Amino acid sequence: MQHKDQITTLVERAVKGDRDAMSDLYSQTCQRTYRTILGLVRDEQTAQDLTQETYMAAFSGLKRLEDPARFQPWLISTAVHKSKNHLRSARPVLFSELEDSAAVENLPDVRAEASPELSLDRAETTRIVRELLGELNESQRLAVELFYYDQLSTTEIAQSLEIPQNTVKTQLHYARKKLEAGLRRLQSKGVELGGLTAAGCFGLLRSLPEEPVLPRRQAEAMLSNILEQAPVQLAAKTGKQLLRGSLGKLLLGALGVAAAGGLVLGGLKLFRRNPEIGDVQPTEPSIVQQTETEALPAADYASDYESLWTVLEQDYPYLPYLEAQGTDMESLKSYYQQQAALAKTPEAYLSVLRSLIENRLNLTGSLQVFGPEEFRLNMPYQDPPEDAELTSYQAAWYALLQDPRLSPLYDWGEGGRDNPAAGMDASFSNPPTVRWYEDEKALLLFFPNCIVPNVDRDREVVAKALAEHPEAENLIVDLRGCHGGEADYWAPVLLEPLGGDWSWTTRAYYRDTPTTAPFYADEDSHPVSELENPPDWVAELKLDRWYEIEMASHSPLPETGMKRWVLTNGQTYSGAAWLAGFCRASGWATVVGGPTSTSYGLARAAVGVILPESGLVLQFAEVVESPDGGLYQDTGILPDLPCEPKHALNTCLELIRTGE
């Protein structure tokens, strides 16, 4: 890490439009920034694009950086913010963007039972360490790699990620406990560990084969683009025109140094906890962004903000989880209370709440406040027929939509709620894509979404693909980049055509309050006190009722006998995560790739609340148990065969070719 005085000097020069200072800042930090983003988005081209965007945003916003010595933490914050925005709006992965089947990553069988008498040589030690590290959640692995791989102190990690130092220590503690449990599990299955310990796993981090780094040519091209665009914005603010010249001191040896100690993240989504509130450096120009709205009167946002926290404390099931991770709720509440008091318009107040929820209470989707665009996308755009039989969940949401307190910010665009295009994003209307691999006798289906209105059309696509390839021996279902939808989609579209009886039942838990009760009134729920051995986190999250959720297929067709694979990554959302969980629990298919997203995922119902003064809609979900018995929101659905998600297809094809 560069000396603070040197960084301060470079930032001060860069603010004045010094091109060489920008180049130096970039060369000293680009590898770590790129690795941070790559670890989050897991796609090299996307990571390069976001790295370039990060530096453009950073260089054009340097005047907002109050403490130039904190350039590195501020830059990481910006990189994480842009990565999360990308993941939230990620489009489906196209076949043209998937890897060619020629370059295959060699993936050993990670199931211990397949090799009960393992010899702990160098390759096997590396495999075990990578497997165990892959079981850590995002925040734990991030802390481990920064501490053990990058050799940063807990203080430096806390400053870089803008989280309390105690949170870093907590993550390192839980990571060690989880690794110890993983080692005991492997040992119980007959794996000879040769004295390998959790501390030994951590110690081996720096000696593991290096991960990919940003190639020099791409780094140079990116810097050229950054200096071509960002300085112009700076010049407009400073009144100075920046010179155009050679790239000068471009990286050279700096890339090699950064490569040896660069940051590699294992997670796909980062839990950004509460910062040291007195030292907040938001990535936005300002948390409060005032916008003139003549038609909408100013509300009592201070009172509304208090109502928000009442909901969080009484109804939101994950607040104790966030507190256990080290979030200082009182400081957080106080800081954003001051920000809410500054808001004069609905848009400004919305920006405050979104900063609080998305940047500080972010639990990757289990809590959100709707802006106008999200509202149009998520809400049903037509009222149900008068004679329709609604579930309690549907009735509660339709009642919310009729509430006169609903913010005028929400509308369905031109034509209002009668607009047939309202409430539907184009990416949710695409059918599955089919690809055939002749040599492997493998049929690949890529699903961009899994929403029930598309069932009839998509079932025909699957049926046609199966009919055209009766010789198929393998089916690969690609969920990487699947936007999600409903779990009810999969039985008629995918499971029934392949035959057999399959089912998976899991439990959903919620906190029974006057706010949540209308949404679960139809569920056959039971008191948690009736359970003999509920998971520990049920009591920790103060959950008091549970009900069962089943995903099943009872097909009249005999099983096809095809070998089935499901590919997942951090952009496998919602109903797509349900299919991955079903496969893990029932054995319907082998899940290959990375953990799924931990957004609403396995949740069946989402509770909606109207904040009384602003009319903004707050939404959160219940808690669902993963197939492994853990808190789904903490881990997502873990794969049977973990590997780099972008290599998951080639991994399957290689395993098919070798007959493993």
Strands (E), 404-457: 433-437, 442-446
Per-residue pLDDT of 319-373, as tens digits, reads 888 888 777 888 888 888 888 888 888 888 998 998 888 777 866 557 889 888 7
Strands (E), 321-467: 367-369, 433-437, 442-446
Check pLDDT > 70 for residue 632. Answer: yes
Q: What is the pLDDT of residues 236-245, one digit of tens each?
A: 333 222 222 2
Question: Would the pLDDT of 656 be above 70?
Answer: yes
- d(CA 222, CA 240) in angstroms, rounded, equals 23
Share of the chain above pLDDT 70, in %: 72
pLDDT in tens, 23-58: 888 888 888 788 778 777 777 888 888 888 888 888
Encode pLDDT of 93-102 as tens digits: 333 333 333 3
pTM for this model (two decimals)? 0.56
Q: What is the mean pLDDT of the chain?
A: 75
Q: Tell me the three state secondary structure of residue 418.
A: helix
Q: Where in the chain is the domain with CATH 3.90.226.10?
A: 427-658
Residue 292: pLDDT over 80:
no
Question: How many Å apart are CA 286 and CA 339, to the nearest integer?
Answer: 10
Encode pLDDT of 150-168 as tens digits. 556 777 677 666 567 777 7
* Average confidence (pLDDT) over 10-33: 85
For residues 25 and 231, what is the distance between their CA atoms, to the nearest angstrom?
14
CA distances from 473 to 561, 565, 626, 650 (A): 8, 11, 30, 17
The secondary structure of 233-293 as a DSSP string is HHHHHHS-PPPP----S--THHHHHHHHT------SS-------GGG---SSS-S------
Q: What pLDDT is attached to residue 121? A: 55
User: How is 299-351 classified by DSSP, letter by letter?
Assistant: --HHHHHHHHHHHHHHT-TTHHHHHHTT--HHHHHHHHHHHHHH--SHHHHHH
Q: Which residue has the higher pLDDT, 476 or 35?
A: 476
Rounded CA-CA distance 81/282 in Å is 10
What is the share, in percent, of the chain residues with pLDDT greater than 90? 24
Superfamily covering domain 427-658: 2-enoyl-CoA Hydratase; Chain A, domain 1 (3.90.226.10)
State the residue for tokens 């040769």: 194
Q: Which two tokens stand for residue 605?
A: 């119902």
Domain with CATH 1.10.10.10 in the chain: 112-207
User: What is the mean predicted confidence (pLDDT) over 173-201?
Assistant: 73
Q: How many residues does the chain have?
A: 660
Q: What is the pLDDT of residue 359?
A: 73
Per-residue pLDDT at 130 exceeds 70: yes
Closest to 168 in 3D by CA, of 272, 321, 316? 272
Predicted local distance difference test score (pLDDT) of residue 444:
95
Residue 295 above 70 pLDDT? no
Task: Retrieve residue 646's tokens.
Answer: 């972008």
Q: Does domain 112-207 have CATH number 3.40.50.970?
A: no
Q: Residue 501 CB: number of other CB atoms within 10 A? A: 10
